[in-house]
Amino acid sequence: ANNQNHIHYYQDGEDEAHLDRLIMLDELKQAISDDDGQLFMTYQPKLHMQTQKIDKVESLIRWQRKDGSWVNPELFIDLAERSGLIVELTAWVINTVVAQVADWKSKGIELQAAINVSAQDIAFPGFHAALVATLKKHNVDARLITIELTERDMIENEEKGIKALKDLKQIGVKISLDDYGVGQTSLGRLKMLPIDELKLDKCFILKLDASQKDQFIVQSSITLGHQLGFSVVAEGVETEESLALLKTMQCDHAQGYYLSRPLKADLLEQWLEEYYG
């Protein structure tokens, strides 16, 4: 923007969008440090198809600003990634989710929780130590935590990133490859990645019951995943038919609106009671 010409500044749509982003970034920074409830986590159950038990959840962040408006997570995560604030935001997420897992454990609810992280988090030198410290603080077993990363996030800083993931695996943290099938992981690379779980992107699952092509893709991905030693999860399961198909395809876990939307912790506890009741 040209500081000597305010009129130009406000007429320039790009600059205005830029200004909005700066304001939002500032608010986000404040929301993290205040921890006043604007930011909170929701949890979406993952059904283990063989046992019909809910043994895992994915944590998904939400932001409701002070004026009551909601900000789409894709938007503010992107903002946080571009500005580097993601490292602080992820630290907040990890602390919140690990504390929640500890709270569930104390209530006799055993759930593994997945946390979404970005390439920058993994590349950040303090990430591993911070996660270990958080687990220790809440006395939570590393095996209860899964890190979800997209293909793009895993490929950025390839060597360093893979070393960091191997170090996490070493202490028992599980690694999940998110949005599988829409990125650019070659099969050669897939073979090399230190992952435990393949998470099939929802674009193959949403219309699974109506699309034979999606069924071919999903069936072969499940088979491939199993042959490479991974557990396979389908996200975006919205219908009973899709769930049934995934079961016949030997998919390990299913996640989606058909089971439940992402819920706040107390609502998830109620949901679990009804599910088992």
The pattern of x and - marking residues 193 through 222 that bind ligand C2E according to CB under 6 A reads: ---------x--------------------
Among 66, 257, 264, 273, binds ligand C2E (CB under 6 A): 257
Angle value at C-alpha 254, between 243 and 151, nearest 5 degrees:
125
- Could you tell me which of 119, 129, 251 has the C-alpha nearest to residue 197? 251
Stretch that binds ligand C2E, among 12-20, 23-31, 59-67, 138-146 (CB under 6 A): 59-67
Whole-angstrom Cα distance, residue 266 to residue 255?
A: 19
> Minimum CB separation from Ca ion for residue 179, in Å?
4
Stretch that binds ligand C2E, among 22-30, 73-81, 168-176, 187-195 (CB under 6 A): 73-81
Our CB check for ligand C2E shows the closer of 156 and 238 to be 238
- CB-CB contact of 155 with 182 (8 Å): no
Q: List 108's β-bridge partners, or say none.
A: none
Residue 151 sits in the site that holds Ca ion (CB under 5 A): no
Which residue matches tokens 């992952």?
Answer: 195
Whole-angstrom Cα distance, residue 215 to residue 245?
A: 8
Our CB check for ligand C2E shows the closer of 14 and 74 to be 74
Residues in Cβ contact with 187 at an 8 Å cutoff, skipping those fewer than 6 apart = 224
> Minimum CB separation from ligand C2E for residue 2, in Å?
35
Going from the C-alpha of 169 to that of each of 56, 60, 143, 162, 195, the distances in angstroms are 18, 22, 9, 10, 8
Whole-angstrom Cα distance, residue 244 to residue 170?
A: 35
Whole-angstrom Cα distance, residue 69 to residue 14?
A: 22
Residue 176 sits in the site that holds Ca ion (CB under 5 A): no
133, amino acid identity = A
Our CB check for ligand C2E shows the closer of 81 and 140 to be 81
> Minimum CB separation from ligand C2E for residue 114, in Å?
9
Residue 262 sits in the site that holds ligand C2E (CB under 6 A): yes
> Minimum CB separation from ligand C2E for residue 10, in Å?
31
Task: For 241-271, give the DSSP string.
Answer: HHHHHHHHTT-SEEESTTT---B-HHHHHHH
Stretch that binds Ca ion, among 115-123, 134-142, 159-167, 236-244 (CB under 5 A): 115-123
The partner in contact with residue 195, picked from ligand C2E, Ca ion, none with C-beta cut-offs of 5 to 8 angstroms by kind, is none
The residues that touch ligand C2E, with contacts defined as CB under 6 A, are 44, 59-61, 73-74, 77, 93, 116-118, 148, 178-179, 202, 235-238, 256-257, 262
